[in-house]
Amino acid sequence: MFTLDHLRFALGQRCLLETQALDFIPGQVHGLIGHNGSGKSTLLKLLARQMTPTSGSLSLDDRPLADFGNREFARTVAYLPQHLPAADTLTGRELVGFGRYPWHGLLGRPGAEDEAAIDRAIALTHTEAFADQQVDTLSGGERSAYGWRCCWRRAVAICCWMNRSPHWISRIRSR
Phi and psi based region of residue 52 (left: phi greater than 0; alpha: psi -120 to 50; beta: remaining): beta
User: Please, what CATH class does the domain formed by 69-175 belong to?
Assistant: alpha beta
Q: Give the separation between CA 102 and CA 73, rounded to whole angstroms.
A: 9
Per-residue pLDDT at 25: 83
Distance CA 18, CA 37 (A): 12
- Residue 148's pLDDT is 63
CA distance 132 to 79: 24
d(CA 161, CA 45): 10
Q: What is the structure's pLDDT at 152?
A: 54
Q: Are the C-beta atoms of residues 51 and 131 closer than 8 Å to each other?
A: no
The CATH fold assigned to 1-68 is: Rossmann fold (3.40.50)
Give the residue range(s) of CATH 3.40.50.300 domains in the chain: 1-68, 69-175
State residue 164's pLDDT score.
Answer: 45
Per run of 10 residues, the mean pLDDT along the chain (length 175 residues) is 93 93 83 86 91 95 94 82 74 80 75 84 81 84 67 53 41 32
Residue 150 has a pLDDT of 59
